[in-house]
A and B are shown apart, each in its own frame.
Chain A
Amino acid sequence: MQKISVLLFLAWVGFLFYAGIALFTSGFLLTRLELTNHSSCQELPGPESQPWGSQGKPGACWMASRFSRVVLVLIDALRFDFAQPQPSHGPGEPPVSLPFLGKLNSLQRILEIQPHHAKLYQSKADPPTTTMQRLKALTTGSLPTFIDAGSNFASHAIVEDNLIKQLTSAGRRVVFMGDDTWKDLFPGAFSQAFFFPSFNVRDLHTVDNGILEHLYPTMDSGEWDMLIAHFLGVDHCGHKYGPHHPEMAKKLSQMDQVIQGLVERLENDTLLVVIGDHGMTVTGDHGGDSELEISAALFLYSPKALFPGAPPEVSRFLHTYSAAAQDLQVKELHRLQNLFSKASADYQRLLQSPQGAEAALQTVITELQQFLRGVRAMCIQSWARFSLGRMAGGAALMAAACFLCLLVSQWLISPGFCFRPLLLTPMACGLAGTIVCAGLLTTTGLKLDPVVLGAMAAVGSLLPFLWKAWAGWGSKRPLVTLLPIPGPVLLFLLIRFAAFFSDSFVVAEARATPFLLGSLILLLVAQLHWEGKLLPSKLLTIPRLCFSASTGPPQRNGTHALGLGVGLLLCIRLAGLFHRCPEETPACHSSPWLSPLASMVGGRAKNLWYGACVGALVVLLAAVRLWLRRYSNLKSPEPSVLFVRWGLPLMVLGTAAYWALASGADEAPPRLRALVAGASVVLPRAVAGLAASGLVLLLWRPVTVIVKATTGAPRPRTVLTPFSGPPTSQADLDYVVPQIYRHMQEEFRGRLERTKSQGPLTVAAYQLGSVYSAAMVTALTLLAFPLLLLHAERISLVFLLLFLQSFLLLHLLAAGIPITTPGPFTVPWQAVSAWALMATQTFYSMGHQPVFPAIHWHAAFVGFPEGHGSSTWLPALLVGANTFASHLLFAVGCPLLLLWPFLCESQGPRKRWQPLGNEAEARVRPEVEEEPLMEMRLREAPHHFNAALLQLGLKYLFVLGIQILACALAASILRRHLMVWKVFAPKFIFEALGFIVSSVGLFLGIALVMRVDGAVSSWFRQLVLAQQR
């Protein structure tokens, strides 16, 4: 199996997942561009002359205002039938007594007494029927969607043209009281505002009572032109009890009193609007698009008689929008534009001949209505409707890709498995599928959708594979191999899978993941003990139970596996201290350590923290150097090693200096301001540049091996076995096998030497045993430093913990993995799942949450304090790197899972022999030390090595794929859930982005290992050539 085909296969699997994610996203996420254009009074909507001729009047904009003031009472979740007047039933019928019916008596009374002053309508709310989306729709007049792709993700503030903004710009005073969602939507727009927390859905009265306290006094004061009161009690009552509860009757009666009180206080020129923003289902929830949810009440009343009116503004919006975005259907757009131009032409004609008939007016009105309906239908089609087919297709594609990962990772270890045909046929089929699909689409004249095209390609390439799996399955392999995952790990994966379906668990994932990880670690330790590998058998006193060599390999890591486990738990717990609270849990307090040092007051504490952060950096650096020295990779004259020795400290220095500047920038004396500003631009860029150059160096010369060529005195050729007799235990074997290997090496060398005429030349190579992992660790450290710079200073402690944690985990896992010398190498499932869990856990402990307001936007300004101008990809890259730093690091470091057990091999035998060593052995040791083959075992079986890398990659992708699949399924099954736009959809987006980052990182990590492998091969070749010369 060649390297390139391994990489291609991984890329193909990644593509399958991407296609699934893209297909799902296109069906699920309702997106829309936000236009920032604003109407103004000077800019008339239609043709110049207006029949109303209102421009001259004071306070008028496009038309004269009919009411000078408005009281807008927004009762959350006021369904239409809540307000519907009850027909007075005949004497024979029993009265219908539902708690929510006929409680708003004042509406009924007004409608009966003053039919010309009041109107009750059933308004249809556009889904998603969640409060924030509905408020946006009500105030902007457009359709609500989940993501309004505007300029600013961080806040929910509305940037589109909206009612409140127009009112304030016209100099009206808008007073608000109620739900604090408005605070986010319209920051600073109100002349007076009383916000009350909307968070606790179980609290029925806080908001309403708060409003009632201020409502009448404000109204009487007269300091307002528009008064908005947003009551939440009905909605919360629905969530808590449902509409069929007596509590609902009480709440509605209270609202009735409110309306009654308002009506009594209304002055002549004031309009009262009572409106529900959406309805509720029979269980009291909302968010979806069922009939009950979208029917809301709209009630208008004024002491003055009510109205006539229609707007051509829509056409202009449509025009601008279609210019800005391409997601509207072109054909339909043309039809509508024609309709509109016809209607406006008719209208013009009507204006020119004012004596025109009623009939002409009627046609214009119907045409305009037709136009509006058409626009609405088109926009809904594009913005506000889940495409169930696409969602199901995407989820199925992801599930199939997961299945593929599972299956192939299982096949890879079966002997004689050749996967070249498995790779080539899908490629061909995928290509064929794409071409067929593209041809079909173009012949039928539909628009070419890249998402559908990609999905078709993925399906096309999956089909032959599935066919092959199906054909090869029934006969040869038993079904048991379908589930190669060991039971406990399967349980963990299932729990993790199920947890994505509960909004509480998604919110609490920051706590749940460390819990699961800790459990997995303790399980690993317990399993080691259960198998008798944890403690030396002499501790287990009953000799007849035969715990020694027969039950398992001797205890290479002995008791310290327990220490590793406890250390890991401690690290996880410490990392948990850096925790940002999700906004859904108001009782929880975010860690104060997540804020940058610059925000701290008090010099002493700041200095101490600064010291600690720099200390963490230095410890990280020292640990990496110590590790490299221990595996003696630090003495080589290779440029990448030189870089580790000199470049890394420079990077630490640069980071520390940057932090010092950033945390104390305000305290700098004015003379140095320019210098400080310059340095805060240069330093981060310099560190990033250093890291990049280090990575390039590493890619260029990844082999960090010292070659010592000694001419002259040949080395002793004896095989040094300090003991005689047949090897009795595994340990003895471990000792003897390298010796034999060495003997063969020397033989080979001898043969080489014989070909030469000159004196014998010996070559000794050091550190070959850790050549792969040394490159990996160096690359990870180089990656970590720029990422670290993007975070707040104190997160450096988390980075330190991250390295420590993964180091401990690798050791713990290595303790449980036996080294299979020739055979297929495998990475057990528990290792991969623990690794993936740890990536998630670190994501949270770096202070992230999978919601948009929690993104660390400041990362975009590291190195660019003045902003980026117009470019968007660079800040997006910086913020993305900040958010998905842990995903990236763990994915790149994934091959270490395979390499580490071989690395740990060197410790075992040596440690065992040390106490027994006699003098002869002590003399020998310096040479014996290089002898354990370690990672060179992998080179001896290149086929297995490549297979193992591919298998590792597939397993990791499977574990990640399960997560993204669960997120997608949760989002699609619970698309009517109250929390879907608040919890599930953001979680899906973050998980999808994390998956993409992880898969790319994994690809790069495996590619790096292969690059090292290639370099080692060429190095060997050079060596042989040099010898022959």
Chain B
Amino acid sequence: MKNTDIKRLLYTHLLCIFSIILSIFIPSFFLENFSILETHLTWLCICSIFVTAVNLVLYLVVKPNASSKRSSLSYKVTRFLKCCIYFLMSCFFFHVIFVLYGAPLIELVLETFLFAVILSTFTTVPCLCLLGPNLKAWLRVFSRNGVTSIWENSLQITTISSFIGTWLGAFPIPLDWERPWQVWPISCTLGATFGYVAGLVISPLWIYWNRKQLTYKNN
């Protein structure tokens, strides 16, 4: 593991953060009355698209994992389709989890689903980019001693911090402050976003500080 690797990681993460910031400011040029709180669902869609796009581009440019041996077009297409299916599945999965956690079942379905989409964007999309549609690899990364590179390590950190942010985002909901951001699911989506950004910032720093202790099995 070299410092250049960490530097590359840092730059990609900064780009991701930048994309989120862009998703806040750019739409206001094109859309009237755009604001995160009032037209929250629009922002969710735009943010999700931006982050997905940046992740894909970065993945294609940086190529953090060794390219697979097969490179036929059909293989790529099936892989892409598989990724799409995985993404959808994860959206539904998160939706179910939210409902199990107490989200309303019948009302606000669209809001809950878009929340699931944005959380999938922050967690599933990077996993898909880095590990491909390979559940076993995912399970490996998210267990003790399972990571094999700094990319996977940062993936672990950002994903977990996204989840924690989402979880913490649920706490202000019962408070009687009557703020617009306490409405379901705004606080949770904001929590997820903050968690993701925090993960993006923390993971290069953490890896940098612990670079002496971190030894990955394959390099």
Contacts and interface: CB of A to CB of B under 8 A. Distances in A.
Interface of A: 202, 502-505, 507-508, 511-512, 514-515, 518-519, 529-532, 535, 539-542, 544-545, 551, 566, 569-570, 572-573, 576
Interface string B143-181: 111101000000000000000000100100011101000
B101 A515 contact: yes
A540 B140 contact: yes
Contact of B144 (A511, A532, A572): A532
A515 B102 contact: yes
B144 A515 contact: no
Contacts of B217: 542, 544-545
Contacts of B144: 530-532, 551
B103 to A, nearest CB: 10
A531 B142 CA distance: 10
Contacts of A512: 174
A540 B101 contact: no
Given A504-B174, A504-B175, A542 B140 contact: yes
Contacts of A514: 101-102
6 contacts: A507-B174, A514-B102, A529-B139, A530-B143, A540-B139, A541-B140
Given A529-B139, A573-B99, A573-B100, 7 more contacts: A202-B178, A514-B102, A531-B143, A532-B143, A539-B139, A540-B146, A569-B101
Nearest to A495: B171
Contacts of A507: 174
Contacts of B176: 503-504
Most A C-beta atoms less than 10 A away, residue of B102, B175, B217: B102
Contact of B143 (A540, A544, A576): A540
Interface of B: 97, 99-102, 136-137, 139-140, 142-146, 148, 167, 170, 174-176, 178, 217
Contacts of B143: 529-532, 540
Nearest to A522: B97
Q: Provide the main secondary structure of the chain B interface.
A: loop
Given A502-B175, A505-B174, A512-B174, A569 B100 contact: yes
Contacts of A511: 102, 174
The list of the 6 closest CB pairs from A to B, nearest first, reads A508-B174, A569-B100, A504-B175, A504-B176, A573-B100, A504-B174
A507 B178 CA distance: 15
Nearest to A546: B145
A540 B174 contact: no
B102 A545 contact: no
B174 A573 contact: no
Contacts of A529: 139, 142-143
Nearest to A506: B174
A514 B140 CA distance: 30
A539 B178 contact: no
B162 to A, nearest CB: 14
B140 A518 contact: no
B192 to A, nearest CB: 15
A350 B8 CA distance: 103
A532 B97 CA distance: 23
Contact of A573 (B102, B142, B148, B175): B102
A515 B176 CA distance: 18
A518 B136 contact: no
Given A202-B178, A570-B100, A515 B146 contact: no
A511 B100 CA distance: 12
Most buried by B among A502, A515, A572: A515
A951 B16 CA distance: 50
A544 B170 CA distance: 40
Nearest to A202: B178
Contacts of B178: 202
Nearest to A503: B176
Nearest to B172: A504
A535 B139 CA distance: 9
Nearest to A518: B101
Contacts of A202: 178
Residue in B144, B148, B178 whose Cβ sees the most chain A Cβ within 10 Å: B144
B41 to A, nearest CB: 21
Contacts of B167: 519
B215 to A, nearest CB: 13
B116 to A, nearest CB: 16
A570 B143 CA distance: 25
B67 to A, nearest CB: 19
Contacts of B99: 573
A575 B35 CA distance: 38
Contacts of A576: 102
B101 A545 contact: no
B123 to A, nearest CB: 13
A542 B97 CA distance: 30
A78 B145 CA distance: 67
B156 to A, nearest CB: 11
Contacts of B175: 502, 504-505
B102 A540 contact: no
B145 to A, nearest CB: 6
Given A541-B140, A544-B217, A518 B100 contact: yes
A545 B142 CA distance: 14
A505 B175 CA distance: 7
A515 B100 CA distance: 9
A570 B174 CA distance: 22
Contact of B142 (A518, A530, A542, A551): A530
Nearest to A577: B105
B170 A515 contact: yes
A515 B101 CA distance: 6
Contacts of B174: 504-505, 507-508, 511-512
A512 B172 CA distance: 11
B100 A539 contact: no
B82 to A, nearest CB: 18
A901 B208 CA distance: 42
A489 to B, nearest CB: 15
Contacts of A515: 101-102, 170
Contacts of B101: 514-515, 518-519, 569, 573
Nearest to A584: B176
Contacts of A570: 100
Contacts of A540: 136, 139-140, 143, 146
A312 to B, nearest CB: 48
A531 B167 CA distance: 22
Nearest to B103: A573
Contacts of B102: 511, 514-515, 518, 573, 576
A592 to B, nearest CB: 15
A529 B142 CA distance: 8
Contacts of B170: 515
Contacts of A508: 174
A508 B177 CA distance: 14
A728 B99 CA distance: 45
Contacts of B136: 539-541
A767 to B, nearest CB: 37
A545 B147 CA distance: 10
Nearest to B167: A519
B90 to A, nearest CB: 15
Contacts of A539: 136, 139
Contacts of A503: 176
A514 B217 CA distance: 41
A524 to B, nearest CB: 15
Contacts of A504: 174-176
A811 B143 CA distance: 22
Nearest to A531: B144
A535 B140 CA distance: 10
Contacts of A531: 143-144
Contacts of A573: 99-102
A171 B99 CA distance: 58
Nearest to A514: B102
A567 to B, nearest CB: 10
For B97, B101, B146, the residue with the greatest tally of chain A CB atoms inside 10 Å of its CB is: B101
A576 B175 CA distance: 20
A310 B102 CA distance: 61
